[in-house]
Chains A and B, each alone.
Chain A
Amino acid sequence: MTEPLLKMRGVKIEGRSDETWNPIINGVDLTLARGEVLGLIGESGAGKSTLGLAAMGYTRDGVRISDGTIEFDGIDLLTASAAVKRELLGKRIAYVAQSAAASFNPAHRLIDQHVEGPSQHGVMSRAESEADGMELYRKLRLPNPDEIGFRYPHQVSGGQLQRAMTAMAMSCRPDLIVFDEPTTALDVTTQIEVLSAIRDIVDQFGTAAIYITHDLAVVAQMADRIKVLLKGDEVETADTRTMLDAPTQEYTKSLWAVRSFERPAKPAIATGAVPVISVQNVDASYGSTPVLHDVSFDMHEGRTVAVVGESGSGKSTTARCITGLLPPKSGQILLDGEALPASYKKRSKDQLRQVQMIYQMADTALNPRMSIGQIIARPVQFYLGLTGAAKRKRVDQLLEQIELEPSEYYNRLPSELSGGQKQRVGIARALAAEPKFIICDEVTSALDQLVAEGILRLLAKLQDDLSLSYMFITHDLATVRAIADEVVVMKDGRVVEQGPKVDMFTPPHHAYTDLLLSSVPEMDPDWLTNLLKERGVDNVGDAAVDKM
Chain B
Amino acid sequence: MILWIAAVLVGMGALAWVFRFAGQAATGNVPKFRDMPFGVAYGYILAVLVVGWLIWAYFQGRSSDPAIANKFFFLRIGIEGFIIFAIAAWLFRLAGRRVGTAWSRKMFRAMPLTAAFGVMIILIYAILAIFAGLLAPYGQEQIIPGVAANITPGGDPALGGNPDFPLGTDQIGRDILSRLIYGAQNTVGIAFATTLLAFFLGGTFGFLAATFGGWLDQVLSRMVDVLMAIPSLIFALLLMTIASVWAPRLGIPLTVFMVIIIAVIDSTRVFRLSRAVGQNIVVMDYIEAAKLRGEGFGYIIFKEILPNATAPLLAEFGLRFCFVFLTIAALSFLGVGIQPPLADWGTMVRDLSGFVNYAQFAPMAATAPLLAAGAIALLTVAVNFVVDWMLHKSSGLKE
User: Which A residues fall within an 8 A CB radius of B?
Assistant: 16-18, 61-62, 79, 81-83, 323-325, 344, 347, 349, 352, 355-357, 359, 361, 364-370, 378-379, 382-383, 415, 429, 433
Contacts and interface: CB of A to CB of B under 8 A. Distances in A.
Given A81-B35, A349-B294, A368 B289 contact: no
11 contacts: A17-B398, A18-B398, A61-B399, A81-B34, A82-B34, A82-B35, A325-B288, A352-B293, A356-B292, A357-B288, A359-B285
B307 interface: yes
Given A344-B291, A356-B292, A367-B308, 17 more contacts: A79-B31, A81-B31, A81-B34, A347-B294, A352-B292, A352-B293, A357-B288, A357-B292, A359-B285, A364-B284, A365-B286, A367-B286, A368-B308, A370-B303, A378-B293, A379-B293, A383-B293
Nearest to A360: B285
B80 interface: no
Contacts of A415: 396
Contacts of B308: 367-369
A333 to B, nearest CB: 14
B289 A359 contact: yes
Contacts of A383: 293
A323 B292 contact: yes
A231 B57 CA distance: 58
A433 B293 contact: yes
B141 interface: no
B316 interface: no
Query: DSSP majority for the A interface?
Result: mixed
Nearest to A363: B285
Interface residues of B, number: 20
A352 B295 CA distance: 11
A357 B289 CA distance: 8
B304 interface: yes
* Most A Cβ at <10 Å: residue of B35, B295, B396: B35
B385 to A, nearest CB: 21
A62 B398 CA distance: 9
A429 B294 CA distance: 14
Contacts of A359: 285, 289
A223 B292 CA distance: 46
B292 A370 contact: no
A368 B34 CA distance: 45
Nearest to B288: A325
Interface in B310-335: none
A532 B285 CA distance: 40
Nearest to A348: B294
Given A16-B399, A82-B35, A365 B294 contact: no
Contacts of A352: 292-294
10 smallest A-B Cβ distances: which pairs? A369-B307, A82-B35, A365-B285, A359-B285, A367-B286, A352-B294, A364-B285, A364-B284, A81-B34, A349-B294
B292 A364 contact: no
A332 B199 CA distance: 44
Interface string B272-293: 0000000000001110110111
A324 B291 CA distance: 10
- Counting chain A CB atoms within 10 Å of each CB, which of B35, B286, B307, B399 scores highest? B286
A344 B35 contact: no
Contact of B295 (A17, A356, A368, A382): A382
Interface of B: 31, 34-35, 284-286, 288-289, 291-295, 303-304, 307-308, 396, 398-399
A433 B284 CA distance: 20
A62 B292 CA distance: 41
B360 to A, nearest CB: 50
Given A16-B398, A81-B31, A82-B35, A365 B293 contact: no
Nearest to A362: B285
Contacts of B35: 81-83
Contact of A367 (B291, B294, B307): B307
Contact of A366 (B286, B288, B399): B286
A357 B307 CA distance: 23
Nearest to B286: A367
Contacts of B292: 323-325, 344, 352, 355-357
A332 B286 CA distance: 26
Contacts of B291: 325, 344
A501 to B, nearest CB: 28
Contact of A365 (B289, B295, B303, B304): B289
Interface centre among A17, A352, A367, A379 (most CB of B within 10 A): A367
A266 B362 CA distance: 97
Nearest to B309: A369
Contacts of B286: 364-367
Contacts of A370: 303, 307
Contacts of A349: 294
B396 to A, nearest CB: 8
A83 B288 CA distance: 51
A414 B307 CA distance: 14
A318 B308 CA distance: 30
Given A82-B35, A367-B307, A382 B294 contact: yes
Nearest to A83: B35
A349 B304 CA distance: 19
A361 B288 CA distance: 13
B117 to A, nearest CB: 22
Interface centre among B284, B293, B295 (most CB of A within 10 A): B293
Nearest to A365: B285
B370 to A, nearest CB: 41
B336 to A, nearest CB: 42
Contacts of A366: 286
Nearest to B294: A352
A344 B291 CA distance: 8
Nearest to A439: B292
A364 B290 CA distance: 12
A213 to B, nearest CB: 27
Contacts of A382: 293-295
A361 B285 contact: yes
Contacts of B398: 16-18, 62
A137 B304 CA distance: 48
Nearest to A433: B293
Nearest to B29: A81
Contacts of B307: 367, 369-370
A367 B304 contact: yes
A82 B38 CA distance: 13
A318 to B, nearest CB: 15
Nearest to A368: B308
A324 B294 CA distance: 11
A347 B294 CA distance: 8
A325 B292 CA distance: 8
Contacts of B293: 352, 378-379, 382-383, 433
A176 B26 CA distance: 37
Contacts of B396: 415
A62 B289 contact: no
A63 to B, nearest CB: 11
A83 B31 CA distance: 11
Given A367-B308, A369-B308, A429 B289 contact: yes
